[in-house]
Structure 1
């Protein structure tokens, strides 16, 4: 992960260090001409704070910080597509298709670097131990959230994903330590979170939060965090190209880790449901007939198949 992404992630930063990081990012190339004393003055911090800031980034000191920032700037592709406006008026498919591909590729690369495997495993463990998984989000994040809900149900996991604010609140009020919550907010500015998260905490429900590093800092103390790419502007954009694919990628990774924790059981439930859910004419299997299993898996003895979680 490049130094700017590590600064934006702000893992383990104190409020002073977050303020210092924001100043460093805002200064950009101008930082190269500043002394450590000048940076301390501009950021309203101290020289000692700058040294601690550099150490947390894994750097020896201020000089190494400037070198790392200059190296990252030199690696930037000047022709890199604009995440917020990936195409312009009059452009056709020959320009738009590769430019959107570049948006997706850079967003996936950033998100893959930001999601910590330990956090992903912890999140999957939390969901695996839950009797029911409740998903809390709103607006455009509802689409990937509802897809996650459908996938959880398809693997035999009890799950809910409501659009109505009233249903979300009532779901939170009815939850408990045997449930798990997935809260999705790219920016962290979802106004309902101020209502829902305290209720979930009071009810003892573990929460997996998916959003940018800045969003996570707005909601500290949750069970697990999956960090997504943060390069999309919250308002100055055509639409949510990057944030959508970042959230979808994080949710897909979470589902994959959860499915893999009990792969045999999940596959067995899919097989049991296929006679009821398959499309007519989609294959040659008759209702009730076994479907092919992935290579390397074995069928369970009769009567030992899994049931839907309570």
Structure 2
């Protein structure tokens, strides 16, 4: 879920918070130059209230929230609103229409991800993987198969990641991680209780952790040192995991390409 989408969820905020949010949404064209003092003055609220709202949205302060808002506003200028990332085609459409819709889905997905991707974080993640003694990857469901393709590529350049979730022994494996190891968690929804327990174990053991996810509201991700956020466009009700797995594969391919280039 994008920040703009979160801001429109009224039930999640107090009356004071939503008064601040309402001002932001009505003045998006001015957000780039808006200061916290000006926002406080215009909404009759305190700087502390604004900071609390920012932290509720997982930002350390107003500056960080503003940067993300500006980024999303700019990226939205180039994204087609016609694409449905969850249901890209209807059952009454012709095969030709489905072909065009699938093209639009992947074409717009690339534009969306590229417009919001944190390139510095991607480079850091690649460096962490290159320097790790051992790489442990945590993924379940369709994502497990997507990460296996990444593992296969890595093996061909003499990196040997271990899929910790291969035999449902991820909790035991997490306890065996040591200093110098790296744990990469890949979960689009970020709602798996077992994976969250594994993240907590790694955090307690001071293991360097990475998460690739679309769920910005999951508090467990704060325990990961490195976070690669995917735009959250795919809904619970969907035809298949077209967008989510494509997005994850794209991110993993970029990481692999950076590592490969350092060989």
State the TM-score, normalized to the length of structure 2: 0.73
Structure showing greater radius of gyration is: 1
Which residue of 191, 201, 226 corresponds with 1:199? 201
- Secondary structure of 1:156's partner? coil
Distance across 2 between alignment mates of 1:74 and 1:118: 23
Structure 1 residues 8 and 179: alpha-carbon distance in aligned structure 2, compared to 1, 3 A threshold: farther
* Structure 2 counterparts to residues 298-309 of structure 1, below 5 A: none
Deviation by residue 1:234-256 (Cα, 9 ceiling, x = unmatched): x1211111111111111111111
Partner of 2:173: 171
Change (3 A) 1:152 1:201: same
- The corresponding residue for 1:160 is 162
Q: Which residue of 1 aligns with 2:239?
A: 238
Q: Could you say which residue in structure 2 is the equivalent of 1:119?
A: 121
Counterparts of 1:133 and 1:239 in 2: how far apart (Å)?
Answer: 29
Q: Shift in Å at residue 8 of structure 1?
A: 5.9
Say whether residues 1:258 and 2:259 are aligned partners. yes
How far has the Cα of 1:215 moved from its partner?
A: 5.4
Q: Look up the match of 2:110.
A: 108
* Equivalent residue, structure 1, for 2:35: none
- Contact 2:212-2:228 within 8 A present in 1 as well: yes
Q: Please state how far the C-alpha of 1:9 moved relative to its aligned partner.
A: 9.2
Matched residue, 1:81: 83
**Match in the other structure for 1:284:** none
Provide the aligned length of Structure 1 versus Structure 2: 234
Query: Is this contact kept in 1: 2:188–2:214, CA < 8 A?
Result: yes
Pick the aligned partner of 1:151 from 147, 150, 153: 153
Q: CA deviation at 1:161?
A: 1.2
| Aligned residue in 1 for 2:189 | 187
Give the whole-Å Cα distance in 1 for the aligned partners of 2:200 and 2:136. Answer: 15
Residue matched to 1:224: 226
Using the alignment, how far apart are the partners of 1:180 and 1:58 within structure 2?
Answer: 32
Secondary structure of the 1:219 match is: helix
Distance 1:227 1:56, change over 3 A: closer
Equivalents in 1 of 2:92, 2:241: separation in Å?
21
Query: In the alignment, is the contact (CA less than 8 A) between 1:209 and 1:225 conserved in 2?
Result: yes
**Compared with structure 1, are the counterparts of its residues 177 and 215 closer, same or farther at alpha carbon in structure 2 (3 Å cutoff)?**
farther
188 and 128 in structure 1: CA distance in 2 versus 1, 3 angstrom threshold: same
Query: Secondary structure in 1 aligned to 2:222?
Result: coil
Alpha-carbon shift at residue 130 of structure 1 (Å): 1.1
Please report how far the alpha carbon of residue 140 of structure 1 lies from its aligned counterpart in structure 2 after TM superposition. Answer: 0.9
Helix, strand or coil at the partner of 2:210: strand
Find the aligned partners of 1:102 and 1:56 in 2 and give their Cα distance: 32
- Structure 2 equivalent of residue 304 of structure 1: none
- Unaligned runs of 5+ residues in structure 2 are 28-38, 55-61
In structure 1, runs of 5+ residues without a counterpart are 60-64, 264-310
Residues 186, 215 of structure 1: 8 Å contact kept: no
